[in-house]
A and B are shown apart, each in its own frame.
Chain A
Amino acid sequence: MRLIVFFDLPMVTKTEKRAYVQFRRFLLNDGYDMIQWSVYARLLNGNDDHEKHLKRLVDSLPPAGSIRCMTVTEKQFAGIKFLVGMPLFQEKKVPANQMLLF
């Protein structure tokens, strides 16, 4: 399954920018891939994994802004239609397979 995080964060003051940078860095460090600007997704293997990463996410939220998250099954995620544009290299190379070949 995939945990998808959508965010809008205020970027006016220096503190706000810093909070944004820290949150985005957390997402990258925790293994999320950017699928679009302000939309990040992480692949999860089962419910334990889901709980673990959701807890980490909740513990790392910035103080202000709007952040939503949604969990979808792999089948639903794979059903995403590309109306304009193409899948990223990362999406094609690192799918839900247990075995990755490079």
Chain B
Amino acid sequence: MGWRSVMISRPAKLRREHYSLAIEQEQTAFVPFEDIAIIVLNHREIQLTHPVLSACADYGIGLYATGDNHQPNGVFLPFLAHSRTTRLMRKQMEIPRPLAKQAWANIVRRKIENQTAVLRLCGKNGVDRLDSYARRVRSGDTENLEGQAAAFYFPQLFGQGFYRAEERWTNAALDYGYAVLRGAIARGLVAHGMHPPIGLFHASEQNAFNLADDLIEPFRPLVDLHVAKHPATTEGDLAPQDKAALVALLNVDVGMPQGKMSALSAIEYAVESLARLFEQGDSELELPALLGLQAHRLDC
């Protein structure tokens, strides 16, 4: 299981050498594929060879491409890497509705709790109101408290008159952070034999990542907290250091039932608990609790 994120923001040639990724710039550096969890390609002049792509699939590395606006717009995932992928796909499609609804309620409740934690950590008002939203979540979130909470929470955090749809730095930063999380989750789902298009709650025909969009919810406030604590340094577009900081959020510690761990490891555990949901009907998902923005200390 990899633990490193590699972000490439200058012209480079990537190739495979032995079992390492060789990054050719003025000089060449090597990173063992085994250690890598994520590679972000964030420059127009990056060239890479087929063996690099194939190694990414072999080692289950999430490889992100970014679009003209420098937002991650694609992720390269291994093709049916897991041995029980067809079995899990069937289980995913046949999940009993009450079970899916309970799991969705768990996800929404933890998301709102984490949003509450963001407001508290930023010293904003409205903590009590969000708390009561979290308490009122019932199976399937039929009252759509998720939406109500979000409509209340974003203006509290970023000021009245804030709209998610508006084109501005804050929204670009949020979108970037969410896209990175979503790719990391999609990678975890595929690695554990699940199909990202078949969701618990999200069911859009046009979305290839419905399940990732379910599981991402409790992780989103991590990005919100970072963006709220580190407002724009430049007008308009994200600067390269802004993007690097957003990718580095994968290394921030969150609370899990097993203890404190990096968001990247937490995704792994959350995905495993999701697999148990489908396989054994265990509705207790393991979801992250927001602690702050402390980066995970390597055990070394």
Q: Which residues of A contact B (CB under 8 A)?
A: 1-2, 25, 28-31, 33, 43-47, 73-74, 89-90, 93-94, 96, 98-102
Contacts and interface: CB of A to CB of B under 8 A. Distances in A.
A47 B300 CA distance: 8
Contacts of B32: 30-31
Given A28-B18, A30-B19, A96 B12 contact: no
Contact of A102 (B6, B247, B248, B299): B6
Interface string B28-62: 01111011000000000000000000000000000
A1 B251 contact: no
Nearest to A71: B300
B29 A89 contact: yes
Contact of B7 (A25, A47, A74, A101): A101
A102 B10 contact: yes
A64 to B, nearest CB: 25
Given A98-B4, A99-B5, A44 B251 contact: no
B247 A99 contact: yes
A1 B297 CA distance: 12
Given A29-B19, A30-B19, A96 B34 contact: no
Tell me the interface secondary structure of chain A in the complex: mixed
Contacts of A102: 6-10, 12, 23, 25, 29
B296 A98 contact: yes
B7 A96 contact: no
A33 B262 CA distance: 26
9 contacts: A1-B300, A31-B19, A31-B34, A74-B298, A89-B29, A94-B31, A96-B300, A98-B4, A101-B9
Contacts of A31: 19-20, 32, 34-35
Contacts of A98: 3-5, 248, 250-251, 262, 295-296, 298
A94 B30 contact: yes
A100 B6 contact: yes
Q: Which of B9, B30, B251, B298 has the largest count of A CB atoms less than 10 A from its CB?
A: B298
Nearest to B12: A102
A44 B300 contact: yes
B251 A99 contact: yes
Nearest to A44: B300
Contact of A46 (B18, B30, B31, B299): B299
